[in-house]
Amino acid sequence: MSTPPLDSAALSWDLLGAFLAVMRTGSLSGASRSLGVAQPTVRRQIETLEEVLNTVLFTRSQTGLTATEAARATLPYAESMASIAEALVRSASAPSDGEHGTVRVTCSEVMGAAVLPPMLADLRSAHPRLQIELSLSNANEDLLRRDADIAVRMAQPTQGALVAKRVGVVKLGVFAAESYLADHAAPRSLADLADGHALIGKDRDTSFFAALRAVGLPLKRKDFALRTDSDAAYVAALRAGVGIGICQVPLAAGPPRLRRLLPKTAFELPMWVVTHEDLRASRRVSLVFEHLVGSLAKYVLSGR
């Protein structure tokens, strides 16, 4: 018996939206809450989608719904369609030559939580009709897929369809809070760091340990008193006096101010502001792009 052909016209956004909601929440009840519709509605939408795709997407378990291999294979396509739909809404929020509408900006946790907000406040003061969606993620969102309109990145993009401006190099160093140093003698050398000091490090981010080895610190996970892959939590722990850690030099200015230790031990990260070439003609995107380039260039210079 042959498999009936798939009917792409039957793939309504309601069905894919329900699918994404279940994938993200892991249950029909969670999906119904996130979508603001009744749970039986979500169930019917998932059942209809399974009929259209002629496959089983979820199996029931004690903890909720478990995604099948077919569901995991379908997810990237559904996410891509969701990104395009959201980009369409942003594009339709204002004419391309208008100074109002929505611009989605993506950046790392620490940049979004501690660096960009004052810059965006200045931007909104000058252009109050702009609306900003700020997406914090240490994973690069796909600008080609229009996951975001503008990205602040610590690596030069390689895709040809992207426009990128290098704003400079941000310096990083070894820092500690005054509250920590009140109870611990400041280290005088790299060797002192591993001798009785509480260190703050990353949890599963292997690049962090590779960077430490490059400056002569072959530390392992067990050598750190606190480990987290959340940049926001990392900086908060550093300011709270949990221990010694790595921080961007301009960010360490506070408040509260952190004291730099071992000034000869330094790291550098290039910083780029990136957008898609098709969006450069958009006035609202251009305003945000140029504002971030100028503001971040001043931020980088403040740490020299």
What is the number of structural domains in the chain? 2
Looking at the structure, do residues 67 and 109 belong to the same domain, yes or no?
Answer: no
Token pair belonging to 217: 């610190």
In 10 A of CB 39, how many CB atoms? 15
Q: Is residue 2 part of a domain?
A: no
SS3 261: strand
Domain end call among 89, 111, 132: 89
- The pLDDT value given to residue 240: 96
Looking at the structure, do residues 277 and 141 belong to the same domain, yes or no?
Answer: yes
For 13-72, the pLDDT digits (tens) are 788 889 989 988 888 998 899 888 999 999 999 999 998 888 999 988 776 788 999 999
SS3 220: coil
- The pLDDT value given to residue 179: 96
CA distance 229 to 243: 16
For residues 276 and 149, is the Cβ–Cβ distance under 8 A?
Answer: yes
Q: What band does 196 get if pLDDT is binned at 50, 70 and 90? A: confident
Going by C-beta distance under 8 Å and a sequence separation of 6 or more, which residues neighbour residue 224?
199, 200, 201, 243
Q: Is the pLDDT of residue 8 over 60?
A: no
Domain end call among 63, 89, 115: 89
CA distance 181 to 188: 13
CA distance 55 to 196: 58
pTM for the structure as a whole = 0.70
In 10 A of CB 246, how many CB atoms? 23
Q: Is residue 3 part of a domain?
A: no
Domain end call among 89, 112, 130: 89
For 81-136, the pLDDT digits (tens) are 777 777 777 676 666 666 788 899 999 999 999 999 999 999 999 999 999 999 88
For 231-270, the pLDDT digits (tens) are 889 999 999 999 999 999 999 997 889 999 999 888 888 9
Q: Is the pLDDT of residue 7 over 60?
A: no
List the domain range (segments joined by +) for residue 66. Answer: 8-89
Cα Rg of the chain (Å, integer): 24
CATH for 248? 3.40.190.290
